[in-house]
Amino acid sequence: MKIEMLFKRLAGLLRHIKLLLTILLLWPALGGCEVSDRDRPVPPRHYEPRVSSLGLTGYNYTNREISDFSVDGQGGGNIDVSSPTGGGGGTVCCVSYVNAKDPGSVRVRWQSDACIYQTKSTISDEVHEHFYWFFKEADVNIEKPVTQNPQYLEVHFYPDGSVKAAVTEHASLPRLRLRQERMDRTPYPRCPHDKKPAG
């Protein structure tokens, strides 16, 4: 009888211990009803535009050398016709770029044609020939998406006269793989009356 009572009490005690262990095991899960900091949605960060200084590179897919080009007034130098592995121009420093959500546009100015005129020396009878360069200008939208680590501003001059601009992290290969043999080596025409054009 005493042993039977002892077993009943022991069984009751085991049930209480089991219940207590279950509560202790479930306690973290019950406490998990609260949202932890890592589970809270992250509010959108305020976007801070930053100004970068980018290397300026030109790519010439036309059939004539571009003697001069600039972006927002920053000179980019001359660009030979591109080859299958090179755009035709080097990289010059530097053009400012605001890295913002909307990449915006840049003002591109480039030499598009030329004519040849003559001048006569004022101290001798020598006649000198000069190039008069014609320029075009265009507001060119920067292509999306823009890299988060901008290093280069690339300007691509296409055979149809269109111009495209892109901000990249690495220097790119030419978009058009054209042979340099396409280069037009015919001389530029003479300016009307062999005179320097007005304006």
Overall average pLDDT of the 130-139 stretch = 96
pLDDT-derived band at 9 (thresholds 50, 70, 90) equals low
Same domain, 24 and 56: no
Domain housing 183? 50-194
Q: What angle do CA 106, 109, 115 make, to 5 degrees?
A: 170
Same domain, 131 and 94: yes
Residue 199 lies in a domain: no
Q: Which residues contact 55 (CB under 8 A, 6 or more apart)?
A: 91, 92, 93, 94, 151, 152, 153, 171
Q: Which residues contact 113 (CB under 8 A, 6 or more apart)?
A: 133, 134, 188
Q: What angle do CA 132, 108, 179 make, to 5 degrees?
A: 75
Q: Is the dihedral of CA 99, 103, 104, 108 positive or negative?
A: positive
| Residue 134: per-residue pLDDT | 95
Q: Average pLDDT, whole number, for the chain?
A: 84
Same domain, 118 and 174: yes
Same domain, 28 and 78: no
Residue 39 lies in a domain: no
Same domain, 14 and 75: no
Residue 64 lies in a domain: yes
Residue 7 or residue 93, greater confidence = 93
Same domain, 8 and 96: no
Domain count of the fold of the chain: 2
| Predicted structure pTM score | 0.72
The yes-or-no verdict on residue 12 having pLDDT over 90 is no
pLDDT-derived band at 140 (thresholds 50, 70, 90) equals very high
Same domain, 28 and 62: no
Overall average pLDDT of the 74-89 stretch = 94
What are the structure tokens assigned to 111, written together?
A: 């030499």
